[in-house]
């Protein structure tokens, strides 16, 4: 399995960003008013858009946390006699609610940035879709 370098990841993110892909999977963006970014110029909006996209990529790649699924205490008998034993059940959590909430907020911010950029007629926003388009 090849290891992806930072340059490869950045190039891949750029391709998706330039293609206008606004896929959010099954996560609905949280509403963020475009007026939040009204004081930003086109350069600042572009930088903010790139920053939010980096956070989105990082959040998408977050691993689930480990969670304890139980503790067992018992007695076992074996060749060496009777002895107590303790077992811990640890597994990967499927609870992604926190990650999904973070992504929802980030998707909302990204949409608000694009809407604000469209109002200001910023060239970087041409062809970038927002949720529902």
Contact 131, 28 (CB under 8 A): yes
DSSP string, 95-116: --HHHHHHHHHHHHHHHHHHHH
Mean pLDDT computed over every residue of the chain: 75
Q: How far apart are CA 116 and CA 34, in angstroms?
A: 5
Of 95 and 108, which is predicted with more confidence?
108
Q: How far apart are CA 65 and CA 95, in angstroms?
A: 8
Q: Which of 17-26, 81-90, 105-114 has the lowest mean pLDDT?
A: 17-26
Q: What is the pLDDT of residues 68-78, one digit of tens each?
A: 555 666 666 66
Q: How far apart are CA 6 and CA 12, in angstroms?
A: 10
């Amino acid at each position: 399995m090849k290891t992806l370098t930072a340059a490869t990841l950045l190039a891949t993110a750029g391709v998706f960003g330039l293609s206008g892909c606004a896929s959010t999977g099954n996560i609905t963006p949280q509403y963020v008013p475009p007026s939040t970014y009204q004081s930003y110029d086109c350069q600042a909006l572009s930088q903010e858009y790139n920053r939010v996209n980096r956070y989105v990529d990082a959040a998408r790649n977050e691993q689930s946390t480990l969670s304890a699924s139980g503790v067992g205490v018992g007695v076992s008998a074996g060749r060496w006699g009777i002895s107590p034993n303790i077992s811990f059940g640890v597994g990967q959590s499927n609870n992604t609610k926190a990650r999904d909430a973070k992504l929802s907020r980030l998707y909302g911010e990204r949409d608000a940035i694009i809407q604000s950029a469209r109002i200001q007629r910023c060239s970087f926003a041409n062809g970038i879709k927002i949720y529902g388009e």
